Amino acid sequence: MIRVGKIVATHGLQGTMVLSHVAGKSNWLKQDHVLFIAIHKDSNIPYFVSQAKRISDSEYHIIVEDIDTVEAAKKMVGKHVFVEEDILGKASTDTPLLWIGFNIVDAEKGSLGSLTDVVQTGHQWLGTIVHDGKEVLIPLIPQMIVEVNLRNKYIRMNLPEGLLDI
């Protein structure tokens, strides 16, 4: 599964939620698709989409089964949303937000660990991994990335000497 966004607000009184996503400009979300919402850490609960209306390149208004009041929808605000890879189709998959959980593989040191989070600082993305018991920030820039494999969920990189020692 790929983290595609999060529920950022409610809309109206019927349980409509605002999904902020990173999947690009396409109309990737359709009725009957399944969204997995992280109600608790590492517990993604499936919800079937009853209605999905694209609002902008980065937002949808969605209604899912079993959420039919504003009170129930408010409980979802702030929760991360995941989808199966095939739902994204031809939507943008080049954003580092989709790479959380991917394994970082260095050309010299091999597997370093999984991305636990990504943040954008200015125009650069930084990924967080835990390596040898300490948190390390990895610049996710094209000059260091050799390959992003969405199917097998790894990122092959050429990291500069000493980056892991900082």
On whether both 44 and 101 belong to a single domain, the answer is: no
On whether both 86 and 105 belong to a single domain, the answer is: no
The string over 118-129, giving b where at least 16 C-beta atoms fall within 10 Å of a residue's C-beta and e elsewhere, is: beeeeeebebbb
pLDDT tens track for 4-62: 888 999 998 889 999 988 776 668 888 999 999 999 877 899 999 999 999 988 899 99
Residue found under tokens 């999060």: 6
| Cα–Cα distance measured from residue 116 to residue 92, given in angstroms and rounded to the nearest whole number | 21
On whether both 142 and 84 belong to a single domain, the answer is: no
Nearest C-alpha neighbor of 50 from the set 77, 32, 73, 28: 32
Mean pLDDT rounded to a whole number for the chain:
86
On whether both 14 and 77 belong to a single domain, the answer is: yes
Q: Cβ contacts of residue 48 below 8 Å, gap of 6+?
A: 32, 33, 34, 64, 65
Q: Which domain holds residue 145?
A: 97-165
The CATH code of the domain that includes 161 is 2.30.30.240
- Give the predicted TM-score (pTM) of the model: 0.64
Residue type, 98: L
pLDDT interval class at 165 (50, 70, 90): confident
Cβ count near 157 (within 10 Å): 24
Six-digit token pair at 103? 């394994």
On whether both 101 and 86 belong to a single domain, the answer is: no
On whether both 85 and 114 belong to a single domain, the answer is: no
| % of the chain at pLDDT higher than 70 | 92
Q: How many domains does the chain have?
A: 2
On whether both 104 and 135 belong to a single domain, the answer is: yes
